[in-house]
Structure 1
Amino acid sequence: MDKNIGWELYRSFLAVLLEGSLSAAARRLALTQPTLGRHIALLEQQLGLTLFTRSQNGLMATEAALALRESAQAMCAAAASLERVARGLGEAVQGEVRIAASEVIGVEVLPPILVALQQRYPKLKVELVLSNRLQDLVHREADIAVRMAPPQQEVLLATRVGDVVLGLHAHRRYLAQQGTPTGIADLVDHTLIGFDQETPFLRAARASLDLPLWVRDNFALRCDSDLGQLAMLRAGAGIGICQIALAQRDVDLVHLLPEQLSLSLTTWVAMHEGLRTSPRCRVTFDALVSGLRAYLGQRH
């Protein structure tokens, strides 16, 4: 490799890797299939590697291709960030800003904050990424993130907005049918809503709750989506964990055993320090901090 390889080759490689075929990747990138094929062949030639083999199901990624995936995704995120920054240059609040948040925060809390923000700045375009996976702000997978853990990287600017308090809840309809637990021991006789796949975060949360029975085998209803669990709570399916501030919006959701069970998650708004002077990111950051503090009922 005696020269730099063009980004467009890596972009084509990543599209084929994600889509599994040249035709699907071509549609994704709005290119022709022969062009995609030439890009892959040229990249393989310049790298000296075989990236894909043909199979009945399409193109199969080789070990070499899989090893390059993370780096190619980082390049893609960096290129997208560069475009967002370029569109937002200047003193006016305009261009794209990419916000990462958990499912529940993104669906239940952020929409009115973002509506007010766009009404004030109509040239601002917001991309909302909903995932419980931490987006990499250092490599610009997102511009701004709402996180339930303090950022560790020194290159990030972070503001603590308050504590999200969680507790056990159930719908009044469920309690009318099954009775209301008066102690932790009573929960074994109830329908519990919880996760399917345990994560390090869930293990730490369970330890903080001091609730040993909150394990997969005890859940009659399992879902790894927080929104899915919330929907089951609202449907009266059983007892589950919900943000207290969110449950207070629904008169039919009852907070159970408040003196015995409580979990607080410190919430932060964070962004890369390189975006400090970006008007679009600055106003979005400030709007998120203000709006989330209002939601949590906390002032700082």
Structure 2
Amino acid sequence: MSIILSMHSWNQYNEILKTDMHFCMDWKSITFDWNRARAFLVTAEEGSLAAAARSMGMTQPTLGRQVAALEREIGFDLFTRRGRGLELTPNGIKLLEHVRLMGHAANQFSLSASGKSDAIEGDVSITASELFSTFLLSPVIKNLRELEPGIEIKIFSTNEERNLNRREADIAIRSVRPTQPELIAKRLCRVRGYLYIAKSYLQQLGNPPSIDELNKANYIDTDNSGRLMELLNSQGLSLSKKNFPVISNSHIVQWELVKRGVAISATIEAIGDNEPLVERISISDLPLVTIDLWLVTHNELRTNRRIRRVFDFLVSEFSDYQQ
């Protein structure tokens, strides 16, 4: 592939070879190959050879040979393997900044020649809980798609935690701040949870229901652990397992059962207060639960423009939820 690069980018590449790195060969003997540099750039941005190969439309062995050839040529390792992904070495981090400038110059040349705009394109995968994905994330993704039509979003709606270190998702929305040093976490928002009951069920219990009536009511939990029962009893109720005749591990199914008047359950106020079929039950003046939500990504993915764009957009969109 023949391509014209700016002298500024080429000079920066030479400077890093002369000053920032220590090679086992003379830097002047290096013959620059943009295909190898691009293979390194995309691999660094995608975080793995498999993802980079898909992005570049080539086989993983071919891409791996190009990266290995560049490492042999410059005389040091660019990556170390971590699980299923790759982590940049300190020298790789230094080189990446300069190769990215070269990539930008190459991209600008290509866009200028084809008359296209400098759009951000590619896949970004987000994982979040069922409720959050359905009710809070969906309208935000609609806004994002209108602003960035080149970014294709993959949403993994699950209450199970996907492993960002293994690249099972690019961005995660979690209720617990991660402790792994390789993950970046930013507090996204704070949500409050309350009990909600269908208006049809509320008529049976009395409006407002007394503590005695609430102690006789039916509730829904996600499992048989008794966590919701313990939480409600700590708020002044006296419930037993007989009060939980329905169990569902799906929060969406739970919410549908609540709306149909089958039983009572808890959800966050942004969902419950906007549903006309239900009403909030206040056992006390305080929320039943308050949770900080965290936006999490892998630290290497800061080098990826589209993931950084989505990450920053989510932070901005949920700024109204900050408390």
Asked if 1:114 is matched to 2:141, the reply is: yes
User: What is the CA–CA distance in structure 2 between the aligned matches of 1:266 and 1:169, rounded to whole Å?
Assistant: 20
| 1:226/1:214 CA distance change after superposition, 3 Å | farther
Structure-2 residue corresponding to 1:238: 263
The structural deviation recorded for 1:104 is 0.5
Answer whether contact 1:209 1:262 (CA < 8 A) is retained. Answer: no
Encode CA deviations 1:123-143: one digit per residue, 9 max, x unaligned.
111110011111111111100
Answer whether contact 2:259 2:278 (CA < 8 A) is retained. Answer: yes
Gaps of 5+ in 2: 1-46, 58-99, 105-118
Q: Pick one of 152, 161, 178 that aligns with 2:188.
A: 161
Count residues in correspondence.
217
The structural deviation recorded for 1:290 is 2.3
* Structure ID, larger Rg: 2
| 1:155/1:208 CA distance change after superposition, 3 Å | farther
Structure-1 residue corresponding to 2:33: none
TM-score, normalisation: structure 2: 0.60
The residue identity in structure 1 corresponding to 2:217 is: H
Q: Pick one of 143, 151, 157 that aligns with 1:130.
A: 157
User: What is the CA–CA distance in structure 2 between the aligned matches of 1:110 and 1:84, rounded to whole Å?
Assistant: 27
User: What is the CA–CA distance in structure 2 between the aligned matches of 1:254 and 1:123, rounded to whole Å?
Assistant: 41
Aligned-partner SS, 2:303 = coil
Structure-1 residue corresponding to 2:234: 210
Aligned-partner SS, 2:213 = helix
Encode CA deviations 1:91-147: one digit per residue, 9 max, x unaligned.
641110110000000111111111111111111111100111111111111000000
User: What is the CA–CA distance in structure 2 between the aligned matches of 1:172 and 1:208, rounded to whole Å?
Assistant: 20
Q: Pick one of 257, 262, 279 that aligns with 2:288.
A: 262
Structure-1 residue corresponding to 2:175: 148
The residue identity in structure 1 corresponding to 2:145 is: Q
Q: Pick one of 109, 118, 121 that aligns with 1:94.
A: 121
Answer whether contact 2:124 2:170 (CA < 8 A) is retained. Answer: yes
Q: Pick one of 189, 198, 203 that aligns with 1:171.
A: 198
Gaps of 5+ in 1: 1-76
User: What is the CA–CA distance in structure 1 between the aligned matches of 2:233 and 2:167, rounded to whole Å?
Assistant: 34
| 1:205/1:137 CA distance change after superposition, 3 Å | farther
| 1:173/1:239 CA distance change after superposition, 3 Å | same
Identical-pair percentage: 28
Answer whether contact 1:78 1:141 (CA < 8 A) is retained. Answer: no
Instruction: Give the ranges of 4+ consecutive aligned residues of structure 1 lying more than 3 Å apart after TM superposition.
Output: 77-87, 89-92, 180-186, 202-209, 211-217
| 1:176/1:208 CA distance change after superposition, 3 Å | closer
